[in-house]
Chain A
């Protein structure tokens, strides 16, 4: 039920008009899913009234807290693409701290536990979130074990094998009975689901998803990977810590054995079984994991085994079965089924208010030299890119085109020479900083953005430089909501600029190669660049698509943008370029208008001598 219930939408605005707007949005968003969500939530709250005597409400409360921690993990696993194997650590940290502060008022203990867990999450994020998924998994797995070993090694802190005994706790004159815990747990789950759903829609969510799905593409758009992921880790850990801190007052003991790697694994299982692509997936997952316990005991009784260890085994089997189905979890599978049946088009994003195209700026390179060991890739390149002009960089393979592009975009640092944007000398400024100044590039192979809609993929570019505070996104503050909305509005403009507006709601994996190239250009445009560097945008495009690309580039030139195209497709070059620069073995061979260059005998020799014909589809 992402983004749809009233309790989330009526967050008081700063002003009356903001509040009214929120109400209007809430009414519009009150869909059938919202009804379903409200009904399930109400039913869950009322469950203890109708519960059979033999179902212990404290078990339900326990699983409600686990569900909150799993929902928090879902933010990392789902949009973030980060297989974190240490979510149980944050639950345990919250539990132990809350238990040690047993004599303090409960609210103080909860706040401390949440804060420490958030700090720990930020530390884990800062240390490891920039790594590839494999290394992130190894690091978090070692952390999960390290935490378990540390608890065992410090009996004075955790009270030995029995753990720390805690009182039942009392808030505002209310004793925390298991039933109260259960109601608290259900509310916490709701808050976690709505909050993480709000994060997913926000600028932070776009940054996380872009980096998670297609790291190279998102980084080229200037998405701050480390910062975005660290924020997500801190937020997720804070929620898990709060859940753990509350759960310990239910269990009445902080048992170190309960916070081992198995807990982290179970939380991951819940995410994957239920489906981390949906904020409610992990809740469904925890419900199934909870059912595996009694099911395992039943199997144990049938087989007469000495211990009932079958619960863990059944969870493992369930996980493998769901993973093998390749549906991405139960809830996403159901959603896909429902969507296929209703064939409902994606909701049209609201029309953007005003277009804020930036005028182009002059980008000049002087004497760029780049060596790779002995090999001189670029031997003194001078380039002068002017606003409102398209410069094409052509040349045989290995002539230094891509090296030049990477030097301009900040992917590589030049050995000699300098690059200036207007009066600004760029030096060794990294790619992300150059994107902020307005120099953005596309990749030779367009990023896949699998599973994202074209609109969201383009919005990654628009969101890359937006403030993305995790707390604000979680509590859906007006600023955070506006951030996500504006990113999508900008994205719609950018899609419009490449003539792909009607594809906004389609998934990127359903697009053709040429359309994906246009999405990549739109994403670059969504960063509001002053200089656009395109790496073989016509690769793999048919004649009609090349003609369309030519129209797009001409209209960008009309907007006053500075454009550089590295291209093999000489038809496109001839079609759009104002200036053509021909590179050969790292040096400029010729420079001039397309017609002049085409007639240059040296150019013909360089191409024909290497038997590279003037072809349309030279990939």
Chain B
């Protein structure tokens, strides 16, 4: 029971971010037919830009930071995320889409990913960084942990889950209830048709590109203080989010979100498996979402291009 609860909480906290990333991948895929391979690195950029503005690049001794500076840092991080997302779309996705070159945008987004990673690694060369937290969770409970049903759970985890699910609900609301969201869904269904009825496709798609990055980055910023952050963390989160999106067959918004949450919990469960004193699943848990996604992809029917115009 206690283990199950612990698994559920840690899993949902991680899975919330995966779910948002999966929604982002799915939205971009539905809008443009492309996979934003740089998604994870874009999130990393947002997180580390926030870190830079909040405390700089030095070794962080203080784990907390003033509220105003933190807010400024988050805003800067998100703005950079949006800006790079939009610029990335305009530079390495759209030109190749117009030319009909699939390998072009695949390589272009991957190039963007590795370039972002190289920049971050140059500016943040240390193994790992401590991310500041404006909310002093460590003063709550026992050093920030609470005992529930025999399980010791980080109080932050509840906050992370709440924010991630809140953001996810916000994203769903944005998609389903607002004018922008309806426009985006119209583009996803039929870009040319949407253009004809006056949806500003050329404006919406790049903005969506930047926006989904920023939303996922916000969740990532909120989750970051829970553990040491490294430059390598976020590309992996991006890949797991992509796996979740593939498991959900890029269907928006609930399947992608639920797949992300589910994979988070499943991953936490695999990591918890004990054989004697060993925890053999810890290293392998990350493989679970990838394996599932590959199974779903392998089960796809062959993509027979339509054989005639009718």
Contacts and interface: CB of A to CB of B under 8 A. Distances in A.
A326 B284 CA distance: 41
Interface in A85-131: 85, 127-128, 130-131
Contacts of B143: none
Contact of A127 (B101, B121, B294): B294
B96 A149 contact: no
* Best-surrounded residue of B112, B121, B308 (most CB of chain A within 10 A): B308
A524 B37 CA distance: 39
Interface stretch (B74-82, B102-110, B149-157, B199-207): B102-110
A323 B118 contact: no
B302 interface: yes
Contacts of A443: 307-308
A535 interface: yes
B7 to A, nearest CB: 19
Interface in B174-221: none
Interface in B88-113: 91-92, 95-96, 99, 101-104, 106-108, 110-112
* Best-surrounded residue of B29, B243, B246, B302 (most CB of chain A within 10 A): B302
A146 B110 CA distance: 17
B107 A149 contact: no
B276 interface: no
Contacts of B95: 324
B247 to A, nearest CB: 11
B125 A154 contact: no
Given A133-B103, A317-B115, A406-B307, A142 B243 contact: yes
A316 B111 contact: yes
B297 to A, nearest CB: 5
B290 A142 contact: yes
B127 interface: no
A326 B307 contact: no
A134 B122 contact: no
A410 B122 CA distance: 58
B291 interface: yes
Interface in B269-290: 282-284, 286-287, 290
Nearest to A82: B103
Nearest to B281: A153
B122 A307 contact: yes
A265 B111 CA distance: 8
Interface string A206-227: 0000000001100110000110
Interface string B285-310: 01100110110011010111111111
B236 to A, nearest CB: 7
Given A131-B300, A138-B297, A445-B308, A316 B103 contact: no
A154 B310 CA distance: 52
B115 A149 contact: no
B108 A323 contact: yes
A313 B92 CA distance: 15
B302 A139 contact: no
A573 B144 CA distance: 84
A153 B281 CA distance: 9
B33 interface: yes
A522 interface: no
Contacts of A269: 107, 111
B35 A134 contact: yes
A272 B95 CA distance: 16
Given A312-B118, A319-B111, A77 B103 contact: yes
Given A146-B287, A153-B284, A313-B119, A83 B103 contact: yes
A40 B89 CA distance: 40
B94 to A, nearest CB: 12
Given A152-B283, A326-B99, A137 B246 contact: no
Nearest to A441: B307
B302 A411 contact: no
A493 interface: no
Interface of B: 29, 33-35, 37, 91-92, 95-96, 99, 101-104, 106-108, 110-112, 114-115, 117-119, 121-122, 125, 236, 239, 242-243, 246, 282-284, 286-287, 290-291, 293-294, 297-298, 300, 302-310
7 contacts: A142-B293, A143-B290, A145-B290, A307-B122, A316-B118, A323-B101, A323-B104
